Amino acid sequence: MHPERYALVEQMAKDQNVRVDELLKSKEVRKKIDLKKYITAEVGLPTLQDILKELEKPGRDPREEIQVFEFDPTIKTIHDVHTGMVVPGLVTNITNFGCFVNIGVKQDGMIHISELANKFIKDPNEVVKLQQAVKVKVLEVDIARNRIQLSKKQAE
């Protein structure tokens, strides 16, 4: 619940002759609250219903879980990358012919559009987005030319 609504919750508790922590713990006390009494120009019934729902689950964060991304810890340089490896990466650039993926080394790997999906696609944006975390399979490593060829469809 947003801090701007704390005073409203405190008022609800006071009107029920309980402390806020008791309001949080007691479903029976919350059932006695007449939400219509708290409707104002700024706070409508739907908002009050949402507040009551949040009081049932104190401390819960309604935001989605943040996905923590980590590169393969065994890969430090292009010399650590080998054909056949399946590694995590982040999409760094999308072009008409495919996309580039950071797999944790200085040089980004490239996925040709034909290696993005197991179906025909006209535009790589149909399959990947910038900064998207992806699993990729290393198809080829050309150390002399500093190139890494990757496949998304073969890693799935």
Instruction: Report phi then psi at 57, rounded to 5.
Output: -130, 65
Lowest mean pLDDT among 59-68, 74-83, 112-121, 136-145: 59-68
Nearest to 125 by CA among 152, 98, 153: 98
Sign of the alpha-carbon torsion through 150, 122, 90, 71: negative
Quote the CA–CA distance of 99 and 123 in Å, as a whole number. 10
Q: Spell out the domains of the chain, with CATH numbers in brackets.
A: 3-56 (no CATH), 78-151 (2.40.50.140)
Q: Tens of pLDDT along 109-152?
A: 999 999 999 999 999 999 999 999 999 999 999 999 999 999 99
Torsions phi, psi of 149, nearest 5? -100, 130
Largest CA distance in the chain: 77
- DSSP assignments along 82-108, one per residue: -TT-EEEEEEEEEETTEEEEE-SSSSP
d(CA 105, CA 102): 7
Q: Most confidently modeled of 4-13, 22-31, 60-69, 82-91? A: 82-91
pLDDT at res. 12: 92
Q: Taking 60 as the threshold, does the pLDDT of residue 60 lie above it?
A: no
**Range 55-67 average pLDDT:** 66
pLDDT at 67: 73
DSSP structural state of residue 118: S
Task: Give 5-56 pLDDT, tens digit per residue.
Answer: 888 989 999 999 999 888 888 889 988 999 999 999 888 999 899 888 888 8
pLDDT of amino acid 62: 56
